[in-house]
Chain A
């Protein structure tokens, strides 16, 4: 007798569009970012000078790309702790490729980096889906293994900016309409992945898998294939980040990327992605990444003791999880009551 509205999006009778806009998951983290920038600019106007803004965008680029990739994996209720090691391998690989073949077309180097990242992501994905092992454990082990491979391959060898073509390095300097080229790449990535997750069948399936993978399997979703896709996507994006790292920074070697993984997870969590999957958006993860990288620069610009920085990041993460939890509880309550009233 009850009309089931379970599958229809909850519009809610009489709710203004403004209210539903405000309730979007990305709002808390975006407003935090806005507040941070405004406060810092008031204290130090140099923060939004053209160089300052360029620096902010450049700093955030690599973290944004990685957060988008890792966010996709987290949405499926998995995690990939090996992203730092993957970045290191691809960055060093990029340096090696340029050192071995200095005239190689830059596009080809990008493709090599993406392919290497995809391969490493696929290994993780296979282990998680075929061997049915929890991703936390697998990717923790792969973190060690990939780092060991990086150390064995690189040894004491480091490649510096001078070993790479100037045109490659200029990707991090030149701008398009005031936005650095590599940041444009990052924005394109965010848009593409966001559209993939929200508008395509395989993308939406990822949310279903994250919510309840047994139900998804019963529903007919090819869970293993989708999860593998998510890991490969994450690996590819991390590979892209690795190539851009080699463009932006000076040296690539054995220790590149060590310790990045928890920063990226933090960015995704702060951006509203639930650690259990099933909700959140990569746009939020991207904003979370921007927020965390901006805090570093903001504290320096404010001359705040840099020692407070990590503590502030910790508080931000806890706040973000709290906000996400409150939001999901209220959503659950609203869905329950809307079902009851519609029954």
Chain B
């Protein structure tokens, strides 16, 4: 055990000390933060002023519409603030509603041509032409001519405002007092209990997504580092010195733990940085805190348990691949074996989501390569028995130990063979040989 610690310690210190570690640790979050803030900044700079002309012989209708349109941004801002206060998740960046300036005009001959010219000159963003109903009680004919047909936000806002105005007018016609009209038109608030249920599921989904992403990323980056470091040791012949002092099992375990800890350190630094940024910056409405608040402590615990087990499992397989190959190129050809189980988990996602406690899900979640992701999904979304959780963890631990044992055999013999990759038959022989 002491030797495992020594190997892991050396591996950790030597890696953390390198310039490469420092650079990736600082650069990647900096670049990510640059993208996020840059995006937010650019979004905030986007022009949100819209110049609209309303042409109508019905002055009352035109004025109401003007009032309604110019009121819209305030109402929307209020509601987004109240959203913040009730700390809901809103993954969309703080997209601002456009602010409208509405000019009212009487129709006159030649006005349409004038407005078209204004459109071409970028003087206005669009004009609305309202032709009053020819019959009493009929709908007026309305046409909107925008400068750019893709400006959907304006059309949506106009649509809503027009409907409200026309509805209010219609209600007023039927003799309802304008205060009551406002009361009727008050938008319905969704019940909060329903929303929090939905919210729990959403945050579970997000935590599953994060686990999936972090696993994939960390395995690609650091699992392969384990394999690379073993290949390096083979080519530099250090294994011969080490094997004269310690067991290959100790060496494998130390390497996986040491290189693994480097990965965990780096991911830890990044996560801390992300949480700090998300926590301190109100403009990036990622809702980091509210997400944590809604995950139970047990869920967070399982997240780390399954992440660690998965990481150890896949690193051990990477170590075995490293022990079998002699160069990085050969390793590249084999790393599909690391990815396949993860890809399979992705494929199984549908079944897991619809029936997290079904037979398929229960069986799949107990198979070691899939356990970390699928059992975590069951813990988050379904109701696995405690014995299922215990069994899944026991199976993971046992299979990690078995892989390290097999890997150390392959390593011990593989390092002494040069030139060619072993055939499966040779691998089997190596396992019997101790």
Query: Do A and B interact with each other, yes or no?
Result: no
Chain A residues close to B by CB (< 8 Å) = none
